[in-house]
Structure 1
Amino acid sequence: MKYKETNDHSFLFGENYFIYKHREDQDALHLYLKSHPHSCTCPNCGVESRKLQSTYERILQDTPIHCKQTILHIRAYKYRCLNPNCERKVFMEELPFAKPSQVRTTALTSLILAVSMFLSNEGASKVLDQIGIKVSNDTIQRIYNRIEFIDNPDVEAVGIDDVAIRKGHHYATAIYDLEDHHLIALLEGRDSETLKVWLKGHNKIKLVTRDRATAYASAINEILPECVQVADRFHILQNLLDKLKDIFKNELPTEIFIKDGVILDEAPSKVEKKPSVAKLNQLHYDNTPPVNPDGTELIFDNKKRKLNSKQYIDHAEGRKKNKN
């Protein structure tokens, strides 16, 4: 089979972008991207345009390659809007892998959030640095601060569950859309009062999956009495396991004795094992030195302690001081 080298990088950044150069130094890998001329939509009026105005450059940090910081140098286009009534005459090309004004790609931001979700900001910053991502703990916090939960007052099916902000101390109520499972609200606390206030603004809800908390059930019954409440699979399985544990505690004895694969009706008698006297009598120990296969005596290098060395003298004096 003959192999042919390919220069197609469309699977990395899309068919409209190609890599024309790369450079590697001690600290980072630099990839230089160019945009193909293609039609773009004006963000103001939505009219498509292929009329090029000029080019502009963006520098983004991308997900690392071989644990090395990867920097993208992108040469993209500015387009002229073809709508004479549009206030924006020139608009910049939007990149599919990075939002406007971002200094990181969307994939890198997602990776940072995925790692920092299970660590502190400082810990996540140090771990990410080891795999080639340069981001400070303050930057991670700013990424979290920009996250918005888009509420939908017309949602008809939601899931409700409590989440621990700080386990044992601070809890919240998470509400997510059952259609695509994205979070639409995060309420303070896990009592019924905050949930009631939220439910009053979402009277189109017909189905709720929830945990076993009675506070959530009472709030839903009071505000949306016709709403169908369903226990989610996790809590149904949890209920089943709890019930099985109770059955096992009541039905099974505290101790079960098994011998040769058979369950015994009563505890077996204890048998004290004693060593074989005959085998002990066969053993004989003396001071006969060991010998080599050729019959010569096996000499061991016996390294004795040098009690007159400075180390042992210092230890002895220290023990005397501590005793006094």
Structure 2
Amino acid sequence: MAPWARVTQRLFQIVQIIGLATGGRLGVRVTDRLGIQTTRQTILRRIMALPLEPVEKVPQIGIDDFAFRRGRKFGSILVDLQTHKVLEVLPDRAAKTAAAWMAEHPELEIISRDRGGDYAAAVRKAAPQATEVADRFHLYKNLTEAVEIRKQAEESARKEVPQEVQDALATSKKAFSPRTWKPVPAPRDEQERLARREQRFDRYQQVLALKAQ
């Protein structure tokens, strides 16, 4: 036992192993069956007590914020974009905290982040050599906004079209129904279709020749 400890080192490690395998709530169910008196908070503290692996050279990272307490306390999480492993959890989302971590890694080449100003300032200060890219969520968000803007522009332009043009467009839509319209096949697909047709025709000619014999 360690000084002032209430559990043995072996029991401490057992709770850690159960916590890593199951988590907090499920871990309590397992420890109850084993006769170990503990709580889910204790299991999580045992997991947090594990030492982190040292961060070696990492050329690509992603950084984003999360809430320790929703709406009150926020932190930052850094992830290796190549291995998808968590590198560090920062106590806040301030620019100086993120910049201090980035300054220790001059090998950074790509940094994926959100559109917040704090992380942008941290990159400019501590990693100006790195290329900044938007994360996947904001790429989707930008795409959605671009589509909505395009749709609104088309609707506003459609309202300005004269009535006779709208009638002509409506007539053309009736003539060419989406149910009967077929897209133009790709050149490669068309070549493959013609090659299969040629093979079938050759086989048919062979059948006729054999029948004549």
TM-score by length of 2: 0.55
Q: What is the aligned partner in structure 1 of residue 128 from structure 2?
A: 225
Paired AA for residue 223 in structure 1: A
Paired AA for residue 13 in structure 2: Q
Kept after mapping to 2: 8 A contact 1:112/1:140: no
Structure 1 residue 220: Cα displacement: 0.7
- Indicate the structure whose relative CO is greater, using CA pairs within 8 Å and at least 6 residues apart: 2
Kept after mapping to 2: 8 A contact 1:195/1:216: yes
Deviation beyond 6 Å, 4+ runs, structure 1:
none
Aligned residues, how many? 146
- The counterpart of 1:179, out of the listed 56, 79, 82, is 82
- The counterpart of 1:149, out of the listed 52, 68, 90, is 52
1:76-102 deviation per Cα after TM superposition (whole angstroms, max 9, x unaligned): xxxxxxxxxxxxxxxxxxxxxxx9973
Instruction: Indicate how the Cα distance of structure 1 residues 228 and 166 shifts in structure 2: closer, same or farther if over 3 A, else same.
Output: same
1:252-305 deviation per Cα after TM superposition (whole angstroms, max 9, x unaligned): 59xxxxxxxxxxxxxxxxxxxxxxxxxxxxxxxxxxxxxxxxxxxxxxxxxxxx
Instruction: Indicate how the Cα distance of structure 1 residues 251 and 197 shifts in structure 2: closer, same or farther if over 3 A, else same.
Output: same
TM-score by length of 1: 0.38
The answer to whether 1:102 aligns with 2:102 is no
Paired AA for residue 115 in structure 2: R
1 CA distance for matches of 2:11 and 2:21?
19
Structure 1 residue 237: Cα displacement: 0.8
- The counterpart of 1:195, out of the listed 94, 98, 101, is 98
Paired AA for residue 53 in structure 2: I
The answer to whether 1:206 aligns with 2:100 is no
Partner-residue secondary structure (3-state), 1:174:
strand
Paired AA for residue 74 in structure 2: Y
Which one has a larger percent helix, Structure 1 or Structure 2? 2
1 CA distance for matches of 2:153 and 2:69?
36
Structure 1 residue 105: Cα displacement: 8.4
1 CA distance for matches of 2:148 and 2:12?
56
Identity %: 26
Structure 1 residue 249: Cα displacement: 5.4
Structure 1 residue 202: Cα displacement: 1.1
Q: What is the aligned partner in structure 1 of residue 29 from structure 2?
A: 128
2 CA distance for matches of 1:199 and 1:177?
13
Q: What is the aligned partner in structure 1 of residue 204 from structure 2?
A: none
Partner-residue secondary structure (3-state), 1:102:
helix
Instruction: Indicate how the Cα distance of structure 1 residues 229 and 140 shifts in structure 2: closer, same or farther if over 3 A, else same.
Output: same
Q: How does 1:82-121 map to 2 (within 5 A)?
A: 102-103=13-14, 106=17, 108-113=18-23, 116=24
Which structure 1 residue ranges, 5 or more long, are not aligned? 1-98, 117-123, 254-324
Q: What is the aligned partner in structure 1 of residue 42 from structure 2?
A: 139
The answer to whether 1:163 aligns with 2:74 is no
Partner-residue secondary structure (3-state), 2:93:
coil
